[in-house]
Structure 1
């Protein structure tokens, strides 16, 4: 299990055993059950989460009560409400478990300490942030410029396992379509 985090980090930077033990000492391992919240809207955001096993989603519910899925996160992915995490303000998103989930939790204080202790880790987080910015830009452009069918095909091609793990209503919300439209797209 610890090796999953190490392998993830070492895709970007190499670590000695001593360095990895130092990194690991700054994380807390937690388990959550299906439907449990990692983050609730309006609450402080204490952690950035690295998904060891399971599947979670971040979402926002608008004033009309419609849920908008922002992101899914499965094994080897990071998730949080980053606006609230970095600015230490109340969450505007909810993050909850679609499956039983195990995560490594990293507080902002420990993240800052790690980055100060190991330049390599600061480099790692910079690279991860850059990848996240790129993915977010691509998602926004896809929502603006692609048809529902194009978004569906792209998601299916990139993450086929999501279609076995995520209920269709959540996939429809992520794609910005109705459940009925998703059924038509998938037939």
Structure 2
């Protein structure tokens, strides 16, 4: 069994310091889980009562439209959090799928356990709130980019926000995240390659 300190170190790094009792509490609430590449962590229309910290691997959340088309909403790599947050925060069923693009090691924690940690260790609530604020800002920037930027500009922003992720994900995942076809993605990459040569 993993020592609670190593769990705390992996999730909170050196950003926060904890007492031995706090470390024991945190370590008791997170459960380490592993998934294989291609495995579905969460399906649409399931109960959402956990969020996941990515220790290793790469995942994506996606929506399947009525026509069957996939729309990638988020990628999550090492150090990121992932869940269907609409379902998680509203305590409703999920609307998104979570898929492992690579083999993944995650730490999962339930909503109730998060609330207990917040109550007993308030500095964690402040820490997570700051992370949620940055996430909200990132999502809003993405919405604005989709409304105002060209596909090429969105792709360049993607490579800036997710450096080196292209070696982990398939072209159609990136294209669905950007809201373009794989053919358009190839054309954009060729344009950028020519301008850089």
State whether TM-score is above 0.5.
Answer: yes
Match of residue 119, structure 1, among 105, 113, 122: 122
Q: What 5-or-longer segments of structure 2 have no aligned partner?
A: 191-197
Contact 1:45 1:85 in 2 (8 A): yes
Aligned to 2:35: 32
CA distance in 1 between counterparts of 2:15 and 2:140 reads: 22
Out of 90, 94, 105, the residue aligned to residue 102 of structure 1 is 105
Alignment partner, residue 150 of structure 1 = 153
Which structure 1 segments of 5+ residues have no match? none
Partner in structure 1 of residue 194 of structure 2: none
- Picking from 170, 182, 185, the partner of 2:185 is 182
Partner of 2:195 in structure 1? Answer: none
Structure with the greater alpha carbon radius of gyration: 2
Matched, 1:43 2:29: no
Q: Paired residue for 2:25?
A: 22
Q: CA deviation at 1:11?
A: 5.6
CA distance in 2, matches of 1:20, 1:150: 44
Measured in 2, the distance between the counterparts of 1:104 and 1:171 equals 25
| RMSD of equivalent CA atoms | 1.7
Q: Partner residue of 2:163?
A: 160
Q: Given the two structures, how large is their TM-score scaled by the length of structure 1?
A: 0.93
**Distance in 1 (alpha carbons) for counterparts of 2:89 and 2:14:** 24
Count of matched residue positions in the alignment of Structure 1 and Structure 2: 187
- Structure 2 counterpart SS, 1:102: strand
Return the TM-score normalized by structure 2: 0.89
Q: 1:19 deviation in Å?
A: 2.3
In the other structure, the counterpart of 1:6 is 9
CA contact (8 A) 1:5 1:76 kept: no
Residues 4-24 of structure 1: CA deviation (Å, up to 9, x unaligned): 752542464333444233212
